Amino acid sequence: MAGKKNAKTKKELSPLALELIAARFRALSEPMRLRLLNLLMAGEQTVGQLVEAVGSSQANVSKHLSVLREAGMIAMRKEGLSSYCFIADPIVNELCELMCSRLRDEMESKTRAFHG
């Protein structure tokens, strides 16, 4: 019974809220953007450092950084001629850690089933 009561008291999300949530998840749906976020979780980096780390063109990396910035996940600051990127929303770290932890558990379970 308590589960039904909690489900009924939970506030429904508006169509606008659902679209904003979907936009965030769309930003995470591209492996290159996940690679960039993973690099940025270690700390602020210049666009040039990110380009070198992922081995892609500056145009491609900039395009993906723009999507992440528009989704509110990262921010950028200028210092001289360099643009520095950093995680702007700490929930990104939590979300990535939750997903990585879950995938690790699943992989370990499958490995045990295969070898055990």
Sign of CA dihedral 62, 68, 72, 73: negative
Where are the domains positioned within the chain?
A: 15-89
pTM for the model: 0.78
Phi first, then psi, for residue 29 (nearest 5°) are: -85, 0
Sign of CA dihedral 41, 45, 47, 52: negative
Question: Which architecture characterizes domain 15-89 according to CATH?
Answer: Orthogonal Bundle (1.10)
pLDDT single digits (tens) 50-102: 999 999 999 999 999 999 999 999 999 999 999 999 999 988 889 888 888 88
